[in-house]
A and B are shown apart, each in its own frame.
Chain A
Amino acid sequence: MSTAVPTLPEDLYGEITAYLWDDIPSLKACSLATWVLTTAAQKLLFRSVALRPGRNVLRQEYVAAVAGDDALSGTSADFERLLARGPHIASHVRSMHIIDRSYQYERSGGDVLVNGVVELDEGEEIIRHFDPDTYTHATRAR
Chain B
Amino acid sequence: MPPVPGDPSGIRRWLPTDESLPLCVPVLCNLEALNISYDGRWHRLSSRVLNSLIDLMGRPSLVDLQVGDHIPGDIFNLSLAPHVKHLMLPHLETCATHRLVAPPRQPTNPVHLESLYIDRPFIFVALLSAPTCRLSISSLRKLFVRSPAVQEHEKIWQLLQFCLDTLEDFEFNPTQDGMLSIVISETEVDCLLRCSRISYLHGI
Contacts and interface: CB of A to CB of B under 8 A. Distances in A.
Interface of A: 48, 51-54, 57, 75-77, 79-80, 83, 87, 90-102, 105, 107, 110-111, 113-114, 116
26 contacts: A52-B14, A53-B13, A57-B11, A57-B12, A75-B20, A83-B27, A92-B30, A93-B28, A94-B31, A96-B28, A96-B33, A98-B15, A98-B35, A98-B36, A100-B13, A100-B14, A100-B38, A100-B39, A101-B38, A102-B9, A105-B11, A105-B12, A110-B10, A114-B4, A114-B12, A116-B1
Interface SS of chain B: helix, strand, loop or mixed? loop
Contacts of B14: 52-54, 57, 75-76, 100
A96 B34 contact: yes
Interface of B: 1, 4, 7, 9-15, 18, 20-21, 23-24, 27-40, 53, 56, 64
Nearest to A94: B32
Given A54-B14, A75-B20, A100-B38, A93 B7 contact: no
Contacts of A87: 27
B11 A76 contact: no
A91 B24 contact: no
B20 A95 contact: no
Contact of A91 (B9, B15, B23, B29): B29
Nearest to B3: A114
A95 B32 contact: yes
Contacts of B27: 83, 87, 90
Given A54-B14, A100-B15, A100-B39, A77 B20 contact: yes
A107 B10 contact: yes
A98 B45 CA distance: 14
A48 B33 CA distance: 9
Given A75-B14, A76-B20, A76-B21, A91 B30 contact: yes
B75 to A, nearest CB: 14
Contacts of B23: 80
B31 to A, nearest CB: 6
